[in-house]
Structure 1
Amino acid sequence: MDDGILDEAYRRLHRTGPEFEGWLSNHGPMAVEALVRHGHDRGVHRWLDDYLRRLDELPRGLRPIDDWREALGDPKRAGDWLAHFDRELRERPWREVLGNWWPRLLPGIAAGATHGVIRVGHAVRVLREDGPGPDRLTELGQALGYWAARWQPVPGVAAPFPGGEGDGAPARPDVTAALAGLPRIADRTGGIVARLGRLRDVPEWEGAVAALRPARTPADAERGLVTLVHRAALDYLRFGHANAVMLVHAVTAPTAVLRTLPALDPALWAPSLAAAWSATAAVTAVYAPPTGVPMPAVAPGTPAEVFARAARHGDAHVVKLADAVLDAHAATGDERVLAAAGYAGQLMSTTRP
């Protein structure tokens, strides 16, 4: 991985805001991290030259964050949140800041159509695997600030941190069965905020989102997240045609959580699975059709070939999905998941990032 090119890309991007054109997420930091990670650093600045034209300036702060609970989920305070985390990460070790804020932010995992947690997951991977640096710490701060500003719970989730099953409690389904049992909203119009709001009107929703078997140990939580990413990637092959872009997040959100686990206290791993499950379940329920299609025909390839095709395609969602399914393939050995990236490329015919 060319650390210099990634740091240069971060510096270019950190002059821009976390959103643009109203409420679209800035995918630049996530996409360039994936491109550099997989050896496509030579094309990063050319990719950025095009992408940066679309972005807005970094938002200015209004006043310091005094009562974080009151400011959580207030997009008007985005500049304040960015400044807050920039200061925290200058004063304290990044793992300490992450460990303090992760349980506060986790219940709002739907933030920015799950892009808050996804951006954090990319930033944490760099810090964990390649070491800290000023630009990388700034990226984590901007990722956490974005999540805080757009903090949004998944409707119908009774408790963010469900515990284990008590004696005599009925057995709950595993990840695969819980995904298969998800209901769907009837009105499938509008954006994700409107769609999430309709979940409360689905009688089966609260039971379905609470149905997943809780993790009893950190190892259970890790295995559950691996399975969740794996099954969500396979579901993309069945349901992706319904909304090629938004259903990517059913895969990339739990991937981000899984990548963050090693930087967290193991006591947070089980609640992290619960939150990731709620995000994938919600995206599936509001965007996936009730019935899937047969597995599409996608050109086979090695992981390196699959990512190279995604990089040539250029769409940020295709790149990020390819990055996620390479992780799923490495964890499970299931070559079927690699086809999800190629299928996304087919569905998103544009090469504009």
Structure 2
Amino acid sequence: MDTSGTLEEAFGRLHSTGPERDGWLSNHAPMVAEALAARGQAGAVHRWLDLYRDKLKDFPEPVAAVTDANWPAALGDSRRAADWIGYFSRALAERPWQDVLAVWWPRLLPGIAAGATHPVIRVGHAVRALGGEENEPRLTELAHGLGYWAARHQPVSGIVELTAGPTAAGALDDVPPIVGGVVGFRARLGAVRQLPVWAGEVRDPDVARERLAELVRAATHRYATHGHGEPTMLVHAATAPNAVLRALDALPRELWAPSLHAAWTASAAVTAMYAPREAIAYVPPSRVTAEEVMERALEHGDEHVIKLTDTALDVGDERALAAALRAVEISEPLVRGQA
């Protein structure tokens, strides 16, 4: 756990910025700052933010206050991001953050694919930060994450359910790709018409947790052999379910099974949208330690590479570390010519 105050300083820099830029591209800075601090790289946080600052936009203007009475009408309205962040800021000032999360998690979960899954990922990072220490900047970060999720809420519906194999790895292999040259995440998500149903019978919370960890591991491993299909977007097939896994301990146990099912839908949908036609065999050029992989990801600088590496370190095995190295190899660095 980082106790230097660096993460709080970073959140202080970032909470005057909006959750998106250029229409719908996500602000990754709070997530990367949390990941670096959690991985013993607090000293690099501000240097990385300086490199990323040109991608930051001012905090959006409010439209009208979201309240307990009118929130359903504001759900999924991207113009209302500031209103939603204000709503959650007030809620978190009045009640324990775990209580707020328990109320809103099942309301937001059907829209887990919102914003290319970045809102739930941001919430997962905020929950991990609060698990280390509870203070105002970290609570504010949770308000921003929940508010972003509510504003971008986008359910996945109308999916034909297919039979899936017993393992997460096999079920991901069974995901049929979308058909046609559809461009853009939202359009591609709309083109997802059928998905295998994996672990749909699970209701026991402990089994749900085990299956969710299996999904994170399988999706992380799969990046090494399939990430070339779309190096940036396929990261989310692993990081989105891992964000859900990180939130479980802060949630009531009765929400664990629904969380598994939503995480599977998000991971499978991303797989359908971006998976390549063929896998490749990937053998990393050398054996490296977890610390060396994190250092390479930081040197590379890309926000998705850093976040996939963070997830790979949670998985912790050699295949996961290989996936992180693969992301370093095939992704565009944060600064051209940097890696």
Short-chain TM bin: over 0.9
Q: Residues of 2 paired with 1:337 and 1:154: CA distance? A: 28
Are residue 142 (structure 1) and residue 144 (structure 2) matched?
A: yes
Q: In structure 1, what is the equivalent of residue 178 of structure 2?
A: 185
Amino acid at match of 1:311: L
Q: Residues of 1 paired with 2:115 and 2:202: CA distance? A: 27
Match runs of 1:169-184 below 5 Å = 173-184=166-177
Q: In structure 2, what is the equivalent of residue 39 of structure 1?
A: 40
1:86 to 82, 89, 92: 89
1:97 to 95, 100, 110: 100
TM-score by length of 2: 0.94
Q: Residues of 1 paired with 2:146 and 2:236: CA distance? A: 18
Q: In structure 2, what is the equivalent of residue 30 of structure 1?
A: 31
Q: In structure 2, what is the equivalent of residue 223 of structure 1?
A: 210
- How far 1:300 sits from its partner (Å)? 2.2
Q: Return 296-305 or 63-72, whichever deviates more.
A: 296-305
Are residue 319 (structure 1) and residue 306 (structure 2) matched?
A: yes
Q: Residues of 1 paired with 2:12 and 2:105: CA distance? A: 25
Indicate the SS of the match to 1:58.
coil
Amino acid at match of 2:272: A
Answer whether contact 2:117 2:236 (CA < 8 A) is retained: yes
- How far 1:3 sits from its partner (Å)? 4.2
TM-score by length of 1: 0.90
- How far 1:125 sits from its partner (Å)? 0.3
Match runs of 1:190-205 below 5 Å = 190-200=183-193, 205=194
1:290 to 269, 274, 277: 277
Indicate the SS of the match to 1:187.
coil
Amino acid at match of 2:45: V
1:153 to 152, 155, 164: 155
Answer whether contact 1:299 1:342 (CA < 8 A) is retained: no
Answer whether contact 1:89 1:141 (CA < 8 A) is retained: yes
- How far 1:53 sits from its partner (Å)? 2.3
Q: Residues of 1 paired with 2:198 and 2:305: CA distance? A: 31
Q: Residues of 2 paired with 1:171 and 1:37: CA distance? A: 35
Q: In structure 1, what is the equivalent of residue 7 of structure 2?
A: 6
Q: Residues of 1 paired with 2:36 and 2:149: CA distance? A: 23
Q: In structure 1, what is the equivalent of residue 220 of structure 2?
A: 233
Q: Return 45-54 or 283-292, whichever deviates more.
A: 45-54
- How far 1:239 sits from its partner (Å)? 1.0
Indicate the SS of the match to 2:5.
helix
Amino acid at match of 1:290: R
Q: Residues of 1 paired with 2:297 and 2:140: CA distance? A: 27
Would the alpha carbon gap of residues 138 and 14 (structure 1) be closer, same or farther in structure 2, given more than 3 Å must change? same
Q: In structure 2, what is the equivalent of residue 352 of structure 1?
A: 335
Match runs of 1:62-77 below 5 Å = 62-66=63-67, 67-77=70-80
Q: Residues of 2 paired with 1:61 and 1:351: CA distance? A: 31
Q: In structure 1, what is the equivalent of residue 261 of structure 2?
A: 274
Indicate the SS of the match to 1:300.
coil
Answer whether contact 2:31 2:122 (CA < 8 A) is retained: yes
Match runs of 1:53-64 below 5 Å = 53-64=54-65
Q: In structure 1, what is the equivalent of residue 49 of structure 2?
A: 48
In the alignment, structure 2 segments of 5+ residues that lack a partner are none
- How far 1:296 sits from its partner (Å)? 4.2
CA deviations over 1:238-281 (Å, ceiling 9, x no partner): 11111000000001000000000000000000000000000000
Indicate the SS of the match to 2:76.
coil
Would the alpha carbon gap of residues 68 and 158 (structure 1) be closer, same or farther in structure 2, given more than 3 Å must change? farther
Q: In structure 2, what is the equivalent of residue 341 of structure 1?
A: 324
Amino acid at match of 2:189: L
Answer whether contact 1:313 1:351 (CA < 8 A) is retained: yes
Amino acid at match of 2:241: P
In the alignment, structure 1 segments of 5+ residues that lack a partner are 160-169
Cα root mean square deviation, aligned? 1.8
Would the alpha carbon gap of residues 308 and 172 (structure 1) be closer, same or farther in structure 2, given more than 3 Å must change? closer
Q: Give % identity.
A: 51
Q: In structure 1, what is the equivalent of residue 315 of structure 2?
A: 328
